[in-house]
Amino acid sequence: MYIQGVSTRKVKAITEELCGYKFSASAMSGVVTQLDEQLTQFATRHLEEGFAYLILDARYGL
């Protein structure tokens, strides 16, 4: 939800539904702040070594 840009209010409602616990607005804000920091660190990290990947493209028809 976070990566897709869902609002904090909706994330709070869904999290409460899944966990069965009511989170305060400040608690959700803290979680979002931590996620922002972690996502930025991940997105800007330096890749030390190369990595292999595979791209597949196909069509299927009868």
Interval 5-59: pLDDT, tens: 778 788 888 888 888 888 888 888 888 889 889 989 998 999 888 888 899 999 8
- Given this model, what pLDDT does residue 2 score? 65
Q: Is residue 30 part of a domain?
A: yes
Which domain, by its residues, includes 32? 8-43
Q: Is residue 37 part of a domain?
A: yes
Q: Is residue 33 part of a domain?
A: yes
3-state helix, strand, coil in the chain (%, to 5): 50, 0, 50
**Is the pTM of the predicted complex or chain greater than 0.85?**
no
Look up residue 56 and give its DSSP letter: -
Q: What is the spatial distance between Cα 21 and Cα 59, in angstroms, rounded to a whole number? A: 46
Total tally of structural domains belonging to the chain: 1
* Residue 40 and residue 10 in contact, taking contact as beta carbons nearer than 8 Å: no
Q: Is residue 61 part of a domain?
A: no
Q: Is residue 60 part of a domain?
A: no
